[in-house]
Amino acid sequence: MPRRLVCATCGATDEWEAEVEGAALVGAALGGTEDPFFRQPLWLQTRCAGHILWAYNEKHLDELGDYVGAVLRERVASPTMAMFSRLPVWMKRADNRPEVLAGLGLLRALAERSAPEDRSDAAHRRDDRPRSRGSTLFRGGPY
């Protein structure tokens, strides 16, 4: 589905639509510290256990918190559970559980704020992912 990005600060907009290569649609690049469509740094990021902990939204935070906080993690075959098998090992380690849960709490508090100066120091462009596709309109913007 097409996506639209609007900057609440300056009003700039950008559009994203999947490209077609032959008979295939080239979609978003999911995972990582950037928005999968516009390649802008995610708002919800913080440093945690020597890594960057990130989430797309509050629902994602809830699901991560439930999984990380579970003492017994049962394997269930469902499409939504596929995310958990791909989580990095450092997030799943029991000895990191308190720090990861604390990081998720920080992200939850951050989700309630919206001013650019409220952004975590981890939520800035690090160019840690290749950018072969996608928008470049907002490079260096307030996101």
List CB contacts of 133: < 8 A, sequence separation 6 or more. 19, 26, 29
Q: Is the pLDDT of residue 77 over 70?
A: no
Q: Is the pLDDT of residue 143 over 60?
A: no
Structural contact between residues 40 and 124, judged by C-beta atoms closer than 8 angstroms: no
In degrees rounded to 5, what are phi and psi of residue 87? -65, 145
pTM of the predicted model over 0.75: no
Report how far residue 104's alpha carbon sits from residue 87's, in angstroms, rounded to the nearest whole number: 14
The alpha carbon dihedral of 26, 30, 32, 38 has a sign of: positive
Q: Residues 83-115: pLDDT tens digits?
A: 888 889 999 999 999 999 999 999 999 888 766
Highest mean pLDDT among 18-27, 34-43, 120-129: 34-43
Q: Is the pLDDT of residue 130 over 60?
A: no
Mean pLDDT value of segment 70-82:
69
Query: In the chain, where are the structural domains located?
Result: 1-30, 41-118
